[in-house]
Structure 1
């Protein structure tokens, strides 16, 4: 059964999707670091800047929709502020050279963003 856009927002579907995306992002960053260390040619595909820019764009859109809607519904700005901080750390990590340091900052940003989505989901209950 397909959920309408509004009911999906109300049920926290976008927050759950965003947390799942955050987990996939963290797994991607760790896997890329390992693959780059083991297989430079395979790691080249995963470390393509377009791949990261697309992922960040999706995270920003999902974050803006889910966290913004949650702030409107439950009136708490803290989850949106925490999520925005996570997105900012992730965006800042994209300015670094590919490698360990970028992966560490990206995973930190993803964790902060996931916390914001979790708080948003809990506040909506």
Structure 2
């Protein structure tokens, strides 16, 4: 009779650990996005430099794509496990604001929509973590 290399109890504990890491990654990405927005505002406004890099559309598209993937994995997984729709709804609202920020011209509206979006997505990851405790 052969034993599996990882006991059954440890196999199930791997899933929450990965999901928890994804939620932490989502919170971290939201923080980096907020930092990027503030750095862009400060650097471009105060110094008049960096606009070609910091205002690059692909940075925003890639950021939204990463947020979508991480939120789908972590919050979707959480929804299946804890059956609480509120973190999912908050994440969808946040991702919606982030998408909206992509279609408005650069400026105050984009800044506010993006910060609102990443704040909501980060809060959704936090709520997801709390729901599974």
Q: Give the TM-score normalised by structure 2.
A: 0.85
Distance 2:121 2:64 in 1: 12
Among 64, 67, 78, the alignment partner of 2:75 is: 67
Distance, in Å, in 2 between the alignment partners of 1:78 and 1:35 is 37
CA distance in 1, matches of 2:43, 2:109: 15
| Offset, 1:43 | 2.2
Unmatched segments (≥5 aa) in structure 1:
none
Q: How many residues align?
A: 120
Q: Which runs of 4+ in 1 moved over 6 A?
A: none
Between the aligned partners of 2:48 and 2:23, the Cα distance in structure 1 is 35
Looking at structure 1, the residues matched to 121 and 63 of structure 2 have their Cα atoms a distance apart, in angstroms, of: 14
Q: What's the Cα RMSD here? A: 1.5
Max Rg structure: 2
1:1-32 residue CA offsets vs partner (Å, 9 max, x unmatched): xxx9x82x512110011001101101101111
Q: Which residue in 2 is equivalent to 1:15?
A: 23
Q: 2: CA distance between counterparts of 1:97 and 1:89?
A: 14
SS in 2 for 1:94: helix
Deviations 1:37-77 (A, max 9, x none): 12333122111001110111000000111000000111111
Structure 2: which 5+ residue stretches go unaligned? 1-10
SS in 2 for 1:110: helix
